[in-house]
Amino acid sequence: MLYDFHIVDVFTSSPFAGNQLAVLPNAEGISVEGMRLIAREFNFTESTFVLPPTDPAHNARVRIFTPRAELDFAGHPTIGTACALVSNGHLTDRELVLEEGVGPIEVSVRDHNDCLAATLTTTTPLASTEVRPTISELASVLSLDPSQVTEGYFASLGVDFCFARLASPDIVDAATIDPPSWQQFARNAWSSNMFFYSGNPIDDETLYARMSAPAHDVSEDPATGSAVAALVGWVATQTKHDVHVEVIQGAAMGRRSEITATARVGGDGGLQSVEVGGPTRMCATGQIEVDESFLDRP
């Protein structure tokens, strides 16, 4: 059976930059195993499968797969899927509610130069731990000297990350995952998905970042909206103030991505919401053959 797909580049308005995403806009009938194998076939960091919503008040249900596993939430798949659905006429609304594993996600789609851009809003509670990775652990995992690592922490808004703030953009580019050190770290770490960056979010500086998730077969991700969401959420809970950042990611890979994110706190200093946004550029449209053995049967 043939299924339509769209390929989009997320967090960029330039052709062939940003983070690639495959979107199947009408994936009803494909089994979970079929979705997993299709994601592996496209071999992007994520692919999405759009299904009818469980709540008729919402626009769609979205399942997100890496080449290895399903995710409850991810930033660039949410942004890219919303833009793909609107750009190709699958949805006419521009104020969307997409059902994901963490619950409903609000997404606002708008025109942006000659493409579309979107901003997602999540009220998912921030998850973290008081236990932090040590400077020596992070330096070892990233093949750096401890003097080059400023701080580390764990946080999640649906996907768990280990964050490492480094001393400069050059050190971010120089960092390399050391497999034996990472494997040892991953045995007991709250998360082994490594997001490492330079810049100070408190000072509204532009952050320069990279991300690697060996456990998900992602050697490097050009743009990681879920990590940026967790980062600003964590900083806002520490400072008890709103936090806004712009993040440059993927530049070292030749796929420069630009992500904006804002965390908002209430009068009690508690995290109220996090917004993540950026443009999406359409790249390709086609069809994929899905064998009947990968279809759900009634």
CATH code for the part of the protein at 2-122+281-294: 3.10.310.10
pLDDT (tens digit per residue) in 26-78 = 999 999 999 999 999 999 999 999 999 999 999 999 999 998 889 999 999 99
Q: Tell me, yes or no, if the two domains 2-122+281-294 and 127-277 fold the same way.
A: yes
Q: What would the mean pLDDT of 183-207 be, rounded to a whole number? A: 94
Q: Taking phi first (over 0 means left), then psi (-120 to 50 degrees means alpha), and beta for anything else, what does residue 261 get? A: beta
**pLDDT computed for residue 203 by the predictor:** 83
At CA 39, angle to CA 3 and CA 53, rounded to 5?
Answer: 60
**pLDDT computed for residue 268 by the predictor:** 87
pLDDT (tens digit per residue) in 120-151 = 999 999 999 999 999 999 999 999 999 999 99
Give yes or no for a contact between 128 and 155, defined as CB atoms under 8 angstroms apart.
yes
Evaluated on CA atoms 43, 18, 61, 69, the torsion sign reads positive
For residue 195, pLDDT over 70 is answered with yes
Catalytic residue numbers?
Answer: 46
Q: CA 225, CA 245: separation in Å to the nearest integer?
A: 12
Relative orientation angle of helices 225-239 and 75-87, to the nearest 10 degrees: 120
Pairing of strands 2-10, 271-289: antiparallel
Give yes or no for a contact between 276 and 229, defined as CB atoms under 8 angstroms apart.
yes
Residues in the chain: 298
Confidence band, pLDDT 50/70/90 cuts, at residue 93: very high
Domain ranges for the chain, please list them. Answer: 2-122+281-294, 127-277
At CA 81, angle to CA 258 and CA 28, rounded to 5?
Answer: 160
Give, in words, the CATH class of 127-277.
Answer: alpha beta
Pairing of strands 95-100, 60-65: parallel
3-state SS class at 35? helix
How much of the chain, in percent, has pLDDT values that exceed 90?
94
